[in-house]
Amino acid sequence: MHLYHKFFNGLLSRLGPGLLYAGAAVGVSHLVQSTRAGGMFGFDLIIAIVIIHLIKYPFFEFGPRYTAATGKNILHGYRRLGKWAVWVYLLMTLSTMFIIQAAVTVVTAGLVTNIFGLEGLGGYEPQTVAAIISSGLLLLCFTLLVSGHYNLLDKLVKIIILVLSVTSIAAVITLLFDNPGHYGSGVVHFSFSDTTHLVFLVAFLGWMPAPMDISVWHSIWSESKNENDGKMTSMKAALFDFRVGYFGTALLAICFLSLGALVMYGSGETFEPGGAAFAGQLLGMYQQTLGHWAYPIVAVAALTTMFSTTLTLLDAFPRTISTTFELLFPERIVHRNNQTTYLVWLLITIAGTLLILFFFLTSMGEMVKIATVVAFVAAPVLAILNTLAMFDKAVPAEYRPGKGMLIWCFLGLLVLIGCSISYLLI
């Protein structure tokens, strides 16, 4: 038992930014989209999850790899390409950050509402209740980030991801041995000749495993870990940490797809269009189909998924924006000496999110769609910037990827650009 405890603690101590990546990546794309994919098409799209993870792998790896090689986050690599590259990243972030944060937070609030029975809170309308609970969640996240910052975020997300992984895998294994089997007239197989299927696939893959922005966040989290530890993480340790997070999210995507396939596929149930409503419907279907015992498992998995995403996104946006301002205006902003810039942008992120939640929540679906399109189309742009930064001469030759990885990047870029163009044409 002592050896097991020592091994487990040693493993967790080696993991940090990779699990923060997982905490940010596993959210609406997994809980809603992956489950929806399983509910709509059964196990048909599991191969799509595997393929998109392989295509995007190099571009996500370059974030922590650049930091392990140079000691700096990959935005410094963007700066070496020219200020234009940093401006591109900043403008892309500013154009989507409030909408994405609001969408993720309101889905988390929807789960809290369903799990704790707060639908009629204070006699307010459902949209007002969602905004109020979202405000409470943002306040909680703000307190956690300000009081503990990276250390607390690092420890908390490790616990959240562990709970999520265990509950999700346990639910899938249980269902495999006790599958209720809803297979009738509701069975539909994915077809490339169906435009609606293609639209869903493109949107599904665009957010799988996560928006490309997270590669930059991962790099900055890695830099923060180095500063906190007082030493640079080795390339071997950085890549191990990344791969655990990256392939762990792939496993969780497959788990959520399997849950949707085993519970919803062929049931004839129709899906609610909103993320929060869908999540509530999902929890209800699990309880109805499998019994009361399944509800706590799925509820814990779903709530920890969305809370970890809400928390890590709320940290990532101000952290990355602070870094871009430091690079663009070094004579005015000295971020490393204090956390003022981070705190200011943290408050701005919360204020912008609350503005959307209280005054534009009725059009959240449309705003999320806009944010999804922008992020999806932007993926090849960030992939190109990551590749150029990683192969720059500033990176020591022994840490630069080889020709095989360069070919991998080239093929991946062709696919991403092709998918973006197809999305715009559909």
Q: Which of 219-233, 294-308, 326-340 has the lowest mean pLDDT?
A: 326-340
For residue 82, pLDDT beyond 50: yes
Q: What is the structure's pLDDT at 73?
A: 94
Contacts of residue 284, Cβ cutoff 8 Å, sequence gap at least 6: 114
32 neighbors 107 (Cβ within 8 angstroms) = yes
Tens digit of each residue's pLDDT (9 = 90 or more) over 142-167: 998 888 655 666 666 777 777 778 87
C-alpha 45/C-alpha 51 separation (Å) is 10
Q: What is the structure's pLDDT at 7?
A: 42
Q: For residue 394, what are its two tokens?
A: 């500033």
Contacts of residue 353, Cβ cutoff 8 Å, sequence gap at least 6: 98, 101, 102, 105, 134, 138
Question: Is residue 230 packed enough to be buried (19+ CB in 10 Å), middle (13-18) or exposed (0-12)?
Answer: exposed
One-letter amino acid for residue 205 of the chain: L
Tens digit of each residue's pLDDT (9 = 90 or more) over 386-411: 999 999 998 999 999 989 999 999 99
C-alpha 376/C-alpha 96 separation (Å) is 11
C-alpha 298/C-alpha 174 separation (Å) is 12
Instruction: Give the DSSP letter string of 60-108.
Output: HHHHHHHHHHHSS-HHHHHHHH-HHHHHHHHHHHHHHHHHHHHHHHHHH
The confidence band for 138, taking pLDDT boundaries of 50, 70 and 90, is: very high
Question: φ, ψ for residue 266 (rounded to 5)?
Answer: 80, 10
Q: Which residue has the tokens 């991403």?
A: 416
Q: What is the structure's pLDDT at 5?
A: 47
C-alpha 203/C-alpha 142 separation (Å) is 30
For residue 364, pLDDT beyond 80: no
Mean pLDDT of the chain: 82
Bridge partners of residue 266, in order along the sequence: 186
Q: What is the structure's pLDDT at 179?
A: 62
182 neighbors 267 (Cβ within 8 angstroms) = yes
Q: Which CATH architecture describes the domain 18-425?
A: Up-down Bundle (1.20)
One-letter amino acid for residue 280 of the chain: G
Q: For residue 87, what are its two tokens?
A: 């401006």
Tens digit of each residue's pLDDT (9 = 90 or more) over 189-247: 898 888 888 878 877 887 788 888 899 999 988 898 888 788 888 999 999 999 998 99
Q: For residue 371, what are its two tokens?
A: 């944010």
63 neighbors 216 (Cβ within 8 angstroms) = yes
For residue 72, pLDDT beyond 50: yes
Q: How far is CA 299 from the centre of its chain?
A: 19
Give the domain ranges of the chain.
18-425
pTM for this model (two decimals): 0.86
C-alpha 307/C-alpha 137 separation (Å) is 8
Question: φ, ψ for residue 57 (rounded to 5)?
Answer: -50, -55
% of the chain residues with pLDDT over 90: 31
Task: Please indicate whether residue 48 or residue 114 has the higher confidence score (pLDDT).
Answer: 48
% of the chain residues with pLDDT over 70: 82
